[in-house]
Structure 1
Amino acid sequence: MPGRWKERFLTQSIRTKLFVAAIACVLLPTAITLLAYNALTQEAVKRQAMSNAQDSLQLASGSVASLFKSMLNIANYIQVNSDMNAYFKIVNAGTAAESNRYEAFMQENNILEQLESLTVIGDKSYVTVLLTNGKTFTNYSRGEYNPAGLTQEQWFGELGKLKGFQSYWVKTEPTVFSMEKLDNPYQISVVRTLRLENADIYGYIVVTVMENQVNGIFDRLTAGQEVMLIDEDGRILSHKDSSQIGTALEYPIRGTGASASTSIVKAKDGRYLVAEQPIPFNGWRLVSVQPYKQATVNISSIFSRVFVFQLASFFVFLLLLIALLRAFTKPLVRLGKVSAAVQRGSLSVRSGIRGRDEIGRLGFLFDQMLDRINGMLAEVRETQARKRKAELRMLQAQINPHFLFNVLNSIRMKAMRGGDPESAQMIGSLSKLLRMTITGEKDEISLHEEIGLVANYVELMNLRQKEEAQLRLEIAAEAFLIRVPRFFLQPVVENALIHGLCQSKGTIAVRAVVLPDGDVELTVEDDGNGMDGEKLARVNKSIRFHAAEALYREEERGRFSGIGLPNVAERMKMVFGDRFRMDVQSEPGKGTKVTMRIPRKEDDDVQRNAG
């Protein structure tokens, strides 16, 4: 019998299967949830209330710990500050009065300013440095409190037991500062010792805050809870009701050491939720007390409303589910019919399914895929036609440059036969430059080829001008094979000829050396007129902040001159990245030197190793 029902279910349509599966997946979990809900609600309410109390107390604990840590940080700063300790030792030894009085006054004033700056930001703290000879340094007026009275406190005798960076936490005691007594009746302090190299105590550091700073944290972060700070003996150190300070906590403490705990305690007037959090540094603990009913009233109300809402929404959602499943499965049927038509070879059919859900996106993407297939087929046909035309134009374009070079070579040979070697040389150099300009099959060439182009260019320029410029090359052999952009060096040499030598005689030196890290340092130096400081700064600035639009305008001119140093720097940075560096140095009457640092590329390493 079960096998028969299974067979009938498997033969049903996808719509029927979805109906049965959806109803089963909704009905069974909902029934189990409603049955187990009441059994789990009370325990969940208890755990949530305990978690809320612990979270709230943990937040307050972090703030209180931060306050105490700031007190320790002040004491740490004074204890490890070598300058302050050196001065304290001098004062305690009684040798400070023997030095210059003005200098002693300035040193003491500097110490007081440092103590004052320690409490400028953050919670207000009273800092006292008490030396064993009775000398004191404070960040408050002695009219508020005479720090010599610290030696009369009961806890003062315990300080001799401290070692190194150990601290003594003074429990809540009446405020001694006259300006604070009215608004802040209690204070909390931490004490550190200052010791000589032989471990003898020569002073004490006392950092004090008002107890109201602690219970103020309770009011801000633990609304609805009675929070207090207690010591290791269970006595209250801080409470919003100052009359309870010093009294014993009436609830038992279960947490020990660094552990936190939350418990429900029974009392005469009902049950209370008690949470505890340890405070680092001093072994004290934060305790929050709240009536259990008050802690759980909101959570219990939420659980009750959720139960009623679940029961009502189940029936509503069941009806909606049936209607939605019918609407959801209708586009699937349509999409299946369109897929069958595409399988038969009809690429013009479209599903027309649209929507923001997965089925709507699937229908839209399916139709878009068919559109792209049709477009790609048309694009392939058009690309093939354009490819045939481009191949024809490329063959035609190759004829013109070769024809031009052949004509120039013919003219050069005719000039040589006619006894005019100077014209023949000029035509030969021009032919080489034009060939390198027109034939653009290589974006990068070796430095050796680039140097040859520069030599041809200088030779051609010497034929144009009255006085010849001398080109001196000092290129390291290992630098010849590095790959560089075409015509990157020609604009630099052109600037040296036109602006440096002013198209008159002189020397242009091109040097290249390989640095220890593999980079190549290339310099172009002339002995021409040079530049003044203002113009030099303008040139270096244009190299660093060259605009891409200006580069485009210069390239549109399509000529050798006018490209300039900024465009050379821009081209080199596009090839080598930000590691490329260019710098111009010049002095009036002493010439100009352009230095370029060309980073090493992996292709250069391969060629260098192969060489």
Structure 2
Amino acid sequence: MVKKYRLNIRLKIIYISIVILFVFVLAILRYAFNRSRNLLIQQEIGIISQVMNRNELAVEEVMDAVRKLSAVSNTHKQIASLLNESYKDQLYSSENASRIRSLEEELLFYKNIFMDYRIHYVIMGADGTIYSIADGIENSAMFGKQLLESVKQQAWFHEFMEKERVSCWVAPCMYDKKGVIKEEGDPHILFVRRIQDYNTQKYLGVSIVSFPIDNFSELLTPYGNGGLMLLNQENQPVYTRDSENYFEGVNVEDLTAQFNKGQGHFYFDKQNVSYLVNYQKVEDCGWYLVNMIPIMVTTQAVDHFYRSITGLVFLIALAAAAVCLAMYIYINAPLNRLVRRVSSVNIGGTRVSEAAEISRPSFGIAETEMEINRMVDYIEELSAQALKQRDIEQNLRYEMLRAQLNPHFLFNTLNIIKWSAMMSGAANIADMITSLGILLENTMNRGEKETALREEIKVVKAWAEIKNWGLKNRIQIYCEIPDDLLDFRVISFFLQPLVENAVLHGMNGQENGEIRIQAEREDMGVCVSVHDNGSGIDAQTLERICRELDGEYKRRHVTGIGLKSIHELMKTKYGPEYGLTIESDKMMGTTVYALFPDREDKHNAESNDRG
């Protein structure tokens, strides 16, 4: 009988109104805070753009100072004259040293005019003479020589000289304090210029102005606590300032692919975190400045306020619901008795309050109590019927599985007798009938579902005697069973199919077949194993057998006549962790394991506890 219980219309209206109001307020709050959040982000974008413009001006000032300092070697007449003197014949060494010192003093003078930061300024004359100014280097001449030797080995320098380019930027360039270019050294920005006489355009040498990238730490400042990166024309990082590792794991190409103007911004997601990325192009050289900062850092104040307001709205909604609930409890006191009644219902030996979900009480008057009581009685009766039906089905399944084994065994035995009589005459019929009598006696006299392990061994040996008549005594049975396990209770007639399967599938063509039956106690119970010295099973066949058995991959598998029925029978009777498994390797034989629960140990332990 199905009944519909109607809710009190007033309580319906109250709860629906609370829900609608709550949703409406949340929607308004979300809209207002999202708008405020977007306005704050736009404001932050403007501030970041100003910071990026200042950083761009700082980079341009450095590069402009480097270019001016490098241009001195081309435009200054005295420097050009000193470089030209290297072509004069019979120039005394003292005069040459004085010329080099004079040129380096001129370079140092202009370096102090154009550049306040530590730099390295090296000129290689057309005759190979080296002029060097190296801040922080003790042996400037040796440093300049090493640096120029390393530069001349670089591919970009050969390209620069072959194409007779006027100037070029190289960044980053790594070299140590001795001037040797290495993969792991101090990063520098090199500006290389070809030196030519201003009037005659005569080639006078090459100048290299090297600006240590560490100097940028005093010039470039990221916004807030974000990360700042300077990229060259090939989108390679030249300088990075990233204390929070925001750029870690980011592919630079993914960032530069979103550059579409000289400056701008976009949003970038990394590891479920959204970042605000601002970029600014350095017009003089085509490099880019990139600033990256999490959006939640810029909007944390608004987000915190939004969470606080949302939590307050939730508390108000919960308070309203609590008031309605208090009113419901006060008005519907009789329903409290229903809750106690339903919680005491017993279904299959288990209280409903512990194992089942109790339906929500209907809102209404005391008459509802009578209807729900009838429903509870009906559920209890229905549950008892369901449990009874489940037990019947489980017993039926158990008996059906057992029925699959005995006819199969008797059929195979009669076949052996028939063929033995036809092939060897009547002399051996008596012995075979004797063995068959043992089998039939055990089959018909055992009404119980379990028997002692010693009886199973007796059946297997009788079957082997019959089988050996057809196989000319090729099968030898060896039993290694401890005395304390001979009376261990196992499923009736489970062992003979295991031995028969070993003979049929594992010993086909085997001259001297050996089957060893062993039993031992393990952590999970008692394991009975049947091992043969047959041909074994290949890995592909084992995998197929696994899928056919229970659809799960295992190292051990089950196959053969009657074995699947035994496996299902053991799982049904003892539980899913028990049953048959098999281990096999090609040409190494096969071992079938039958795992039973050690109920006797548990029984003994319980007896000892009682004692």
* TM exceeding 0.5: no
If the length of structure 2 is used for normalisation, what is the TM-score? Answer: 0.39
Structure label with greater radius of gyration: 2
